[in-house]
Amino acid sequence: MTASEKLLRELIARPSVNPAFAPPGDPCAGEQRMAEFLAAIATGAGLDVEFQTVFSERRNVLARLTPSGKVRRRIVLAPHTDTVGATEMTNAMFRPVRKAGRLHGRGACDTKGSVAAMLTALLELTRHGPRPTETEILFVGLVDEEQSQAGSRALVKSGFKADLAIVGEPTRLRVVTAHKGAAWLTLETRGQAAHGARPELGRNAVHEMARIVDVIESRYARQLRRRRHPLLGSPTVNVGFIHGGRQANIVPDRCLIELDRRTIPGETNATVRRELRALLKQNDLAAGLGDLKGGLPCLPMETDATLPLVQELLAVVGQRQPAGVDYFSDASVLAHGGIPSVLFGPGDIAQAHTADEWIALSSLERGTAMLTKFLRSLP
């Protein structure tokens, strides 16, 4: 068994479900046991380890390899340590199972595979060298990526800087330099309640919202498809939740929808809000507009692929052109905090968040080898 597979097995066996996706007090919730395990391994290998408190009992873990000479650059390996949960969380989810060249278990793909590959690569460099002469390398296990990215936001807020962050995500071992942002918004219509036997005396908020949903999913969606980004394609919109009314014999006086608007570079939450207001006005519709996630910015990310360190990573991976992905990640927070960031990691996002999550062990081993080669190329 390889070092990275052994480490991944240990990580899967230590639940780290984001508390947002677990019942209160659930023993599988929280990243702390995983952070402490990673810290113990890194300390045993001679790395300098520290914790950064984000929430009570939820901390980022930082493991540092200092160069033999003066620090002239800093590289960060930044996977997240939390996972999503499941409708029913069972012990079997956290029992690693190998079959047909795959390792199954919660987090195997998203992103404990990246954690294992990145830390194994750093440990290989630490134990067998050569140690960089002027590049400081940090492994940073970030909490809360799956909910509010509080781990990466706390790191940026602390003033942390680096020349490149490689954010661990299941990219199928492609270097990703751009990803979409996410604006989660609410729209609310107000009507007037009345008895269901006399609907003409009321004003149906659900009916008004139905017209709004139709406009968003048809005209607005077509409008978005006319915009294109070379790596990300078009922005999208999805109405994912609707709630209105109390019972069948009452004209509903309130209806609420929640929508997911995926953004491309150049778009912000503010521009999306202005666009939706204009859409409603043009179609003689009325609704209140609000932020679903408390206004946290989840902006699109795009890093200059011509940066020397990005070019070096592309060369090591054997990739001519950078890639883009649809999903959001910690890379956006780090990049907008002044740290050039890319995504890279073993596994495929298609397996993330699934009931039977898995990662191909060949992808895990190739990813570990690529990262080791890149780290050894650093001066």
Q: What is the CATH number of the domain that holds 244?
A: 3.30.70.360
Q: What is the pLDDT of residues 284-330, one digit of tens each?
A: 999 998 887 666 889 999 999 999 999 999 999 999 999 999 999 99
pLDDT value, residue 129? 84
Strand partners, 109: none
Same domain, 316 and 230: no
Same domain, 188 and 266: yes
When divided into structural domains, the chain yields a total of 2
DSSP annotation of 31 reads S
pLDDT value, residue 294? 65
Under 8 Å between Cβ of 144 and 30: no
pLDDT value, residue 92? 87
Same domain, 124 and 22: yes
Of 291, 310, 331, the residue at which a domain comes to its end is: 291
Handedness of CA 32, 36, 39, 41 (dihedral sign): negative
pLDDT value, residue 358? 98
Q: What is the pLDDT of residues 180-237, one digit of tens each?
A: 999 999 999 999 999 999 999 999 999 999 999 999 999 999 999 999 999 999 999 9
Same domain, 187 and 166: no
Same domain, 219 and 241: yes
Distance CA 183, CA 264 (A): 11
**Residue 144's CATH number:** 3.40.630.10
Same domain, 205 and 266: yes
Please give the sequence-ordered ranges of beta strands (E in DSSP) within the chain, or none if there are none: 48-55, 58-65, 73-79, 97-99, 102-104, 135-141, 164-168, 176-179, 181-190, 236-244, 254-263, 288-291, 301-302, 323-325, 341-343, 358-360
Of 291, 316, 343, the residue at which a domain comes to its end is: 291
Distance CA 29, CA 366 (A): 31
Same domain, 216 and 142: no
Same domain, 69 and 167: yes
167-197: b (≥16 Cβ within 10 Å) or e: bbbbbbbbbbbbbbbbbbbbbbbebebbeee
Same domain, 273 and 312: no
Of 291, 314, 346, the residue at which a domain comes to its end is: 291
Place of tokens 């503010």: 270
Same domain, 128 and 193: no
Same domain, 10 and 153: yes
Q: Could you tell me the residue range of the domain that residue 263 belongs to?
A: 181-291
How many helical (H) and strand (E) elements, i.e. helices and strands, does the chain have? 10, 16
Per-residue pLDDT of the chain in tens (379 residues, 90 and over written 9): 999 999 999 999 999 999 999 999 899 999 999 999 999 999 999 999 999 999 998 999 999 999 989 999 999 999 999 999 987 788 889 999 999 999 999 999 999 999 999 999 999 999 998 899 999 999 999 999 999 999 999 999 999 999 999 999 999 999 999 999 999 999 999 999 999 999 999 999 999 999 999 999 999 999 999 999 999 999 999 999 999 999 999 999 999 999 999 999 999 989 999 999 999 999 999 999 888 766 688 999 999 999 999 999 999 999 999 999 999 999 999 999 999 999 999 999 999 999 999 999 999 999 999 999 999 999 9
Distance CA 162, CA 77 (A): 11
Same domain, 204 and 145: no
